[in-house]
Amino acid sequence: MRQLITLNETETLSAGVELAGLLQGGDVLAMNGPLGAGKTCLVRGIAQGLGIASRDVSSPTFSILHEHAVGDQGRELKRMYHIDAYRLSGLEDLESVGWDECLGDVNGVLLIEWASKIEAALPVHSVHIDMSYMPEAGRCLQMHVEDVAGGRFAELWGTVAP
């Protein structure tokens, strides 16, 4: 498990920028945490790292899905899909938001807030990020990555015992 403590919004944005540099087409980031834990802030940092203006990124709470064109980063990534699963009532709602198209886009990355709401639909290669807010110390980001990621995230953040 990888872990990072961020003390403010700027550090959370920077963590997202750093994470963006490791993403490849087809990656799925499944984020969980309470309101205020920094999920959307981390997504804005990832967007910034992918050449998307962070001011253009907001939580898609009511629209469920936002699609963003990735800036020219000299990579094969073309799109970032941002889903907020908070208002989904179950897996059956995924079809109406274009779930299969998002998952099938080999040139896109899929970022999901409140991913626990659709846990059963997440692919095995999903990168899980659990976030929490600690009033005295900022935010704690814990990343759980299966070996299928090929070690790309091995140097990201710090290591803690599982």
pLDDT number for residue 123: 93
Distance CA 112, CA 24 (A): 16
Beta bridge partners of 158: 3
**137-to-6, 87, 103 alpha-carbon distances in Å:** 8, 29, 35
Range of the domain at 110: 2-159
pLDDT number for residue 106: 94
pLDDT number for residue 62: 61
Which of 59, 53, 101, 50 is closest to 80 using CA atoms?
50
Beta bridge partners of 61: none
pLDDT digit string (tens) for the chain, length 162 residues: 788 889 899 999 999 999 999 999 999 999 999 998 999 999 999 999 999 887 778 776 667 788 888 887 657 889 999 999 998 877 888 888 889 999 999 999 999 999 999 999 999 989 999 999 887 778 888 888 776 565 777 778 876 655
Distance CA 137, CA 37 (A): 12
Pairing of strands 28-32, 127-134: parallel
For the chain, how many structural domains are there in total? 1
Q: What is the CATH classification number for the domain harbouring 142? A: 3.40.50.300
pLDDT number for residue 162: 54
